[in-house]
Amino acid sequence: MSEISVVPINVIDHQVLTRLALCLEERFLATCIVRASLPVPKSALNSVRKQLFFGSLATKLAGAHESGEGAVLGITEFDLYKTSHHFIFGGSSESHHTAVVSLHRLRPEFYGEPADENQLFQRLLKESVHEIGQAMGLKHCYNARCPMYYSNSVFDTDNKFSNFCEACEKRSRAIDRK
């Protein structure tokens, strides 16, 4: 992968995105660029669920940004869902090399805890690595400490490291050489 585009959906703190981009460059050994925001109106939300359907956002993101040899990562405040899930922390499309991560359920405040910017950032980083990995073609891992492990809850996310386990690291390098 040569480049990762980080695209804020509406307004996301630019300092957080810059910090995320630096960490993703280190993890993926790719240039990471923070792009202009992609506007998505609240009217796009499912009016009953008050959530945004991942597929709609992924399509809009892929249409607005060409992934080329890299990946596109959208960051949103919207609560996301898929047809088969009540909610998701993020999602990806391998065919479009796009990924999206939602901050909504990664925030400690969502669980009645005090705001913690560092904890939020660590969760964002782990989920971003996971979703970019999926967009690259990596599958879920059975190692609960690997970012490619599927998070059923935010506790699973907190338990992970932000670097791939040895097996997923090898798989990611093999994918990169294709």
Instruction: Check if the beta carbon of residue 39 is closer than 8 Å to that of residue 10.
Output: yes
Helix, strand, or coil here: 41?
coil
Q: Report strand pairing: 85-88 vs 80-82.
A: antiparallel
Catalytic residue among 26, 66, 131, 166: 131
Q: Report strand pairing: 52-53 vs 71-76.
A: unpaired
131 given a catalytic annotation: yes
> Of all helices (H) and strands (E), which one includes residue 108?
none
Displacement of CA 100 from its chain's centroid (Å):
4
Instruction: Check if the beta carbon of residue 121 is closer than 8 Å to that of residue 104.
Output: no
Instruction: Check if the beta carbon of residue 177 is closer than 8 Å to that of residue 171.
Output: no
Catalytic machinery residues: 131
